[in-house]
Structure 1
Amino acid sequence: MDLCVTIKGVSFLLQTGMGILGNAVVLLAYAHIIFTEPKLLPVDMILCHLAFAHLMLMLTRGVPQTLTVFGYTDLFNDAGCKVIIFSYRISRALSVCITCMLSVFQAVTVAPAGPRLSKLKSALPSLVLPTFAGLWLLNSAIYFQTFFHAKAPRNGTIPAFTINVGFCHVDFKNSLTYIIKGVLSSGRDFCFVALMVASSVYILLLLHHHSHQMKAIRRSQGGGAETRAAKSVVTLVVLYVLFFGIDNIIWIYMLTETKVSPVVADMRVFFSSCYASLSPYFIISSNKKIKTKILCAVEQDQPASMDTQESHDK
């Protein structure tokens, strides 16, 4: 096997393995929290849904991409491609939408209370599930046409206006459909990224210019937790915007070049999945609830292992 292919395959394998493991751990930790606590905070509900979207993304794009790199191309038939491409696009869209939702909800949470804002703060828990439903419906409407365009790879020349992801093809038939898809998808991404950046900038300004108020909040119940959560959300947004920027820089380069090296296309796929792969580890390290559940599970497992070893020794 060529060295370049080996490096590429190992890179995708590590990224996919890390992404699946990290997001699965976050989901399992939250599953345990749901059974032991009366209810989740809005931020925890959003982080749980974000981990689910990222796990779905790694399974629908990371796994097939890794297998394709190692030569397994005939993975799906037409029906399988329709389902896998639709699921990938929904999960990728949910990644940006839920990260934006997280930053907006956190901005409202840490904002100084006022007559109108107090009502919104108290309504936040009841708004989480309807917002999830709205995001699913929005992105399903945008990507429903995938069921008409996705198909298994065919031998021969790839038609114009066809996106080749290796394990599947997405044939848009004509330039108008291709442009409409690109405008809807890109327009949604940039709108949500702009909103999450604005929310994060507001949080940073609030933390910077109202230091005395934030000290008072820290002394009150839950204030310190809200401040730490706000900083964690801003860091997640920065992480997303970083990889989103790299992804779009490569995409713009691909649009301006007539012949693009497959290595460049693979780099775009890799960087577009980095956020889904790395974000769960930041969530684990910065979220006390999840960290506590993992440490408790490890501590419970260690005595059991020691007891088993002692019984064998006897």
Structure 2
Amino acid sequence: MDLCVTIKGVSFLLQTGMGILGNVVVILAYAHILFSDRRLQPVDIILCHLAFVNLLLLLTRCVPLTMTVFGLKDLLNDPGCKVVIYAYRVSRSLSVCITCMLSVFQAVTLSPAAGPRWSSLKARLPSLLLPTFVGLWCLNMAVCIAAPMFTTAPRNGTVPAFTLNLGYCHVDFRDSLSYVINGASLTVRDFAFVGLMLWSSSYILLVLHRHSRKVRNIRRAQGGGMESRAAKMVITLVVLYVVFFGIDNVIWIYMLTVAKVSPDVADMKIFFSSSYAFLSPYFIISSNKKVKSRITCTASDQEQQSVDTQESNDKV
């Protein structure tokens, strides 16, 4: 194994391992909050769902790629490739949709009430979460249904033109028209959600800037500081996503302009497109006091239990 392959393998291994660990910790922390407090705040529900989707993304994209880089051959057959690629496409689409949903939800929550209809919408937001989740899942599962049609297990011999060689699977579009249409449709969909995400985040910044004194009064009277911290966390998540989204799409646009894509270019795209799923849970842990307190509390309990066990052994 040469140096470049080793560096690539170690990079994917670290990204995959740390990303899975971080998202699992976030999900378990929210499960602990739900078990102890019997309820989750709407923002917490969205963040927990985002961690689950990012975990699914890492499992279906980075795990098989990491195994392939380290030399595991014939990892998946045709049906396995179709399932894995379809699950990845759905989870990637949901990642941008739920990040957008988080930004829009926070923008509506922070916006000043302007009439009874707007106040009624803000009051109904928590009850709209479940229908929105169901709608996003159904929408993205329907949009991504074509992905398995072009997916096959790797074949011996030359890789055909207009084929994305992922190592563990091939996505063969057969002709330039289907190749460009598929790439353009995904890009347009992603840009639409990212545009809405940026608009809502800009609105959040505008509200926080223009009404800083009012927000301070709300913080003293009703705990508005928590909403302000949540808004800043959402904005940072959006910025994080947009950075990796931009790099991912620059590579994707390049891939659309060539008939045969180098496996190294495809691997680079996968690395950057998965970086948000890898980094976002650690930002949630560091910026969300409830999640951090649950992790700290669990660690303290385990340390105390270890001390008690040691003392019992010493007495024996």
TM-score band w.r.t. shorter chain: over 0.9
**Identical amino acids, percent of aligned pairs:** 68
Per the alignment, do residues 248 and 233 of structure 1 end up closer, same or farther by CA in structure 2, a change over 3 Å counting?
A: same
- Deviation of 1:248 after TM superposition, in Å, equals 1.3
Which has the higher mean CA deviation after the structures are superposed, 143-152 or 75-84? 143-152
Q: Could you tell me whether the CA contact under 8 Å between 2:161 and 2:259 is conserved in 1? A: no
Rounded Cα–Cα distance in structure 2 between residues aligned with 1:163 and 1:268: 11
- Deviation of 1:259 after TM superposition, in Å, equals 6.5
- Could you say which residue in structure 1 is the equivalent of 2:140? 139
Q: Is the aligned partner of 1:14 residue 2:14?
A: yes
Q: CA RMSD in A?
A: 1.5
- Deviation of 1:260 after TM superposition, in Å, equals 5.5
- Could you say which residue in structure 2 is the equivalent of 1:233? 234
Rounded Cα–Cα distance in structure 2 between residues aligned with 1:122 and 1:294: 31
1:91-110 maps to which residues of 2 (within 5 A)? 91-110=91-110
Rounded Cα–Cα distance in structure 1 between residues aligned with 2:148 and 2:271: 25
Rounded Cα–Cα distance in structure 2 between residues aligned with 1:179 and 1:259: 13
- Could you say which residue in structure 1 is the equivalent of 2:24? 24
1:211-250 maps to which residues of 2 (within 5 A)? 211-250=212-251
Number of residue equivalences: 314
Q: Could you tell me whether the CA contact under 8 Å between 1:142 and 1:185 is conserved in 2? A: no
- Deviation of 1:258 after TM superposition, in Å, equals 6.4
- Deviation of 1:215 after TM superposition, in Å, equals 1.5
- Could you say which residue in structure 2 is the equivalent of 1:301? 302
Rounded Cα–Cα distance in structure 1 between residues aligned with 2:260 and 2:171: 19
- Could you say which residue in structure 1 is the equivalent of 2:34? 34
Q: Could you tell me whether the CA contact under 8 Å between 1:100 and 1:193 is conserved in 2? A: yes
- Could you say which residue in structure 2 is the equivalent of 1:77? 77
- Deviation of 1:39 after TM superposition, in Å, equals 2.2
Rounded Cα–Cα distance in structure 1 between residues aligned with 2:310 and 2:62: 38
Q: What TM-score results when the alignment is normalised by the length of structure 1?
A: 0.96
- Deviation of 1:176 after TM superposition, in Å, equals 3.2
Q: Is the aligned partner of 1:199 residue 2:200?
A: yes
1:136-175 maps to which residues of 2 (within 5 A)? 136-175=137-176
Which has the higher mean CA deviation after the structures are superposed, 95-104 or 115-124? 115-124
Q: Could you tell me whether the CA contact under 8 Å between 1:50 and 1:98 is conserved in 2? A: yes
Rounded Cα–Cα distance in structure 1 between residues aligned with 2:108 and 2:223: 15
- Deviation of 1:128 after TM superposition, in Å, equals 0.7
Q: What TM-score results when the alignment is normalised by the length of structure 2?
A: 0.95
Which has the higher mean CA deviation after the structures are superposed, 5-14 or 210-219? 210-219
- Deviation of 1:214 after TM superposition, in Å, equals 1.3
- Deviation of 1:267 after TM superposition, in Å, equals 1.9
Instruction: Give the gaps of 5 or more residues in structure 2.
Output: none
Instruction: Give the gaps of 5 or more residues in structure 1.
Output: none
Per-residue CA distance 1:185-231 (angstroms, 9 max, x = gap): 11110000000000001111111122122112212213110000000
